[in-house]
Amino acid sequence: MTQNTLIHRIKNLQKSDVKITITKRIAEFKRIGNSSDNEIFKELCFCLLTANYDAKKAINIQQKMGNVFLIPDLEIIRSNLKLLGYRFPNVRAKYIFLAQQHKDDIREIINKYKNNSSNLRQWFVNNIKGLGYKESSHFLRNIGFLDYAILDFHIIDILNENGIIKRPKTLTPTKYIEIEDQLKYFSNELDLQLGELDFYLWYLEVGEIFK
């Protein structure tokens, strides 16, 4: 396939029920972004869980953990993750516990940097241990900010298959930004924000719309 073929396939999806599903999902994310500090923090915890882990399983664990994410007790968080079969209970419990110190500041940070998407994401990369560029982009997209690409291996695969990028040996911060900039061409061509484009690319690669 080629770049033009990929654009054509996405344009076809924009005329289908897939667009309706994506529009609904984005509306859900914006509702989360306008909800309580606790709900926003639980979404951040979900994104901490997804690194090198199956996203569907992470959603299931997020739902079962619920307000456990808010308990300021490392051992309680760790033991609940372990009980639920999470793969990395020790290190991710520590990340969640450390992130709690910023729980009530997240909205203030968002308001401070909301007009500078680069600085907003960078704050989370710099201040929330366990959130790299992908996870920070994922979190911000899941609370309604659509300016970021979420470069997981599914997205890398489809971009590589269509000759848009060469698969990087390692996805460094510099390489992440470089690929994200390349994707802006497609988002502009399709009149989509990067966070919307991610849904279409994901659907073409795995056949479903996911969180």
Instruction: Give me the active site residues, please.
Output: 134, 152
DSSP-derived secondary structure for 60-106: HHHHHHGGGGG-S-HHHHHHHHHHTT-S-HHHHHHHHHHHGGGGGGH
Q: Are 48 and 94 in contact (CB under 8 A)?
A: no
* 133/40 Cα distance (integer angstroms): 18
* Residue type, position 84, single letter: L
